[in-house]
Amino acid sequence: MNIGLWLERCGRSHPEAPAVGYGDDLVLRYGELAQRAARRAGALRERYAIVPGARVAIIAKNCPSYVETMYAVWLAGAAVVPVNAKLHPSEFSYILEHAGAGLAFVSADLADQVPVYGDLKLVVLDSPEFDRMLAAEPIAAVPRDAGDLAWLFYTSGTTGRPKGAYLSHRNLAAASYAYLAEVDQVAPGDVLFHAAPMSHGSGLYLMAHVMRLGVNVIPASHGFEPDEVLRAADRWKRLSLFAAPTMVRRLVGAANGADVSGFRTIIYGGGPMYVADLIEAFRVFGPRLAQIYGQGETPMTITTLSRSEIAASDHPLWMERLGSVGRPFGFMEVAVHDQDDRPLAPGQEGEIVCRGPTVMTGYWNDPAASQDTLRGGRLHTGDVGVFDQHGYLTLKDRTKDLIISGGSNIYPREVEEVLQTHPDVHEVSVVGQPDAEWGEVVVACVVRSPGTAVAENALDAYCLERIARFKRPKRYVFIDSLPKNNYGKVLKRELREMLSASDLANQEGVKS
Ligand code: AMP
pLDDT tens, position by position, 450-489? 999 999 999 999 999 988 888 899 999 999 999 988 777 8
C-alpha 140 to ligand 1 mean position (Å): 36
- Nearest-atom index, ligand 1, CA of 397: 12
Measured CA distances, 227 to 85, 121, 145, 224 (Å): 22, 38, 43, 9
Burial classification of residue 18, based on how many CB atoms lie within 10 Å of its CB (0-12 exposed, 13-18 middle, 19 or more buried):
buried
Give the residue-averaged pLDDT of 11-36: 98
Three-class secondary structure of residue 272 per DSSP: coil
CB 18 within 8 A of CB 237: no
369's CB contacts (< 8 A; 6+ apart) are 163, 363
pLDDT band at 406; cut points 50, 70, 90: confident
pLDDT band at 177; cut points 50, 70, 90: very high
Q: Provide the H-helix boundaries in 286-361.
A: 307-311, 318-322
pLDDT band at 160; cut points 50, 70, 90: low
**pLDDT at residue 414 tops 90:** no
- Nearest-atom index, ligand 1, CA of 398: 12
Fold of 5-387: Rossmann fold (3.40.50)
Percent of the chain with pLDDT over 70: 97
Provide the pLDDT for residue 506.
61
pLDDT band at 510; cut points 50, 70, 90: very low
For residue 324 and ligand 1, the question of a CB distance below 6 A is answered with no
Provide the pLDDT for residue 161.
76
Give the residue-averaged pLDDT of 151-159: 78
- Nearest-atom index, ligand 1, CA of 291: 19
Give the residue-averaged pLDDT of 142-165: 87
CB 15 within 8 A of CB 57: no
Tell me the average pLDDT of the chain.
93
Three-class secondary structure of residue 389 per DSSP: coil
For residue 155 and ligand 1, the question of a CB distance below 6 A is answered with yes
**pLDDT at residue 157 tops 70:** no
- Range with the poorest average pLDDT among 84-88, 227-231, 315-319, 429-433: 84-88
Provide the pLDDT for residue 86.
84
CATH of domain 402-507: 3.30.300.30
pTM of the shown model: 0.87
pLDDT tens, position by position, 222-242? 999 999 999 999 999 999 999
Bigger pLDDT: 466 vs 179: 179
Provide the pLDDT for residue 104.
98
Provide the pLDDT for residue 158.
53
Cα–Cα distance measured from residue 14 to residue 231, given in angstroms and rounded to the nearest whole number: 28
Provide the pLDDT for residue 512.
28
- Range with the poorest average pLDDT among 255-259, 297-301, 425-429: 255-259
- Nearest-atom index, ligand 1, CA of 165: 2
Instruction: HSE, CB side, 13 Å, CA atoms: give it for residue 14.
Output: 17
Report for 78-92, 308-322, 391-405: range of highest mean pLDDT: 308-322
User: CB 88: neighbour CB atoms within 10 A?
Assistant: 10
For residue 398 and ligand 1, the question of a CB distance below 6 A is answered with yes
**pLDDT at residue 375 tops 80:** yes
Cα–Cα distance measured from residue 354 to residue 293, given in angstroms and rounded to the nearest whole number: 12
**Among residues 384, 338, 38, 28, which one has the least CA distance to residue 214?**
28
Q: Provide the H-helix boundaries in 49-205.
A: 64-75, 89-99, 128-132, 169-178, 201-204
Provide the pLDDT for residue 473.
96
Provide the pLDDT for residue 410.
85
**pLDDT at residue 507 tops 80:** no
Cα–Cα distance measured from residue 246 to residue 398, given in angstroms and rounded to the nearest whole number: 18
46's CB contacts (< 8 A; 6+ apart) are 136, 137
Provide the pLDDT for residue 505.
57
Amino acid present at 389:
Q
C-alpha 294 to ligand 1 mean position (Å): 6
- Whose alpha carbon is nearest atom 10 of ligand 1? 295
**pLDDT at residue 136 tops 50:** yes
pLDDT band at 511; cut points 50, 70, 90: very low
Provide the pLDDT for residue 398.
75
Cα–Cα distance measured from residue 147 to residue 149, given in angstroms and rounded to the nearest whole number: 7
- Nearest-atom index, ligand 1, CA of 325: 19
For residue 399 and ligand 1, the question of a CB distance below 6 A is answered with no
Give the residue-averaged pLDDT of 262-282: 94
Q: What are the residue boundaries of the structural domains of the chain, listed by start?
A: 5-387, 402-507
- Report how far Cα 443 is from the mean position of its chain's Cα atoms: 27
